[in-house]
Amino acid sequence: MATDYGAVTLWVIIVAGGVGTFAYRFSFIALFGRLDDVPEGVERALRFVPAAVLAALVAPDLFLAEGSAGVSVANPRVAAGALAAAVAWRTEDIAATLGSGMVALWALSAL
């Protein structure tokens, strides 16, 4: 059953969502602006944010194939990702990690 919202209702929803998002994000800025130092526990937790965001961006492309779970050795993305993870662990070099993963994916896709 489709509901027909009026233009005013739609704009109220959009503005309320924008104000809510702004208030949520601004609250952290205002909170940390009042503190002289960021607590040590918060600093430790924030160190993991870049890795968590990268994993959230990369994992769906690695482990999903055509909308379903594609975790198998036959999936070239999983094998290339595993190789790239090994290179990253061994060398700690971003260029080597990206290069090895891309070359492995291209080579495995060509087979």
**DSSP tag of 23:** H
Q: Which structure tokens are listed for 66?
A: 């055509």
**What does each C-alpha distance from 108 to 80, 81, 94, 100 come to in angstroms?**
8, 11, 21, 12
User: What is d(CA 80, CA 106) in angstroms, rounded to the nearest whole number?
Assistant: 9
Collect all residues with Cβ–Cβ distance below 8 Å to 91 and sequence separation of at least 6. Answer: 97
pLDDT of residue 1: 47
Q: Which structure tokens are listed for 80?
A: 């290339």
User: What is d(CA 42, CA 15) in angstroms, rounded to the nearest whole number?
Assistant: 31
> Tens of pLDDT along the chain (111 residues)?
456 678 889 899 999 999 999 999 898 888 777 777 778 898 899 899 998 998 899 888 887 766 667 677 678 888 898 999 999 999 999 999 999 999 999 999 888
Q: Report the predicted TM-score, pTM, of the whole model to 2 decimal places.
A: 0.55
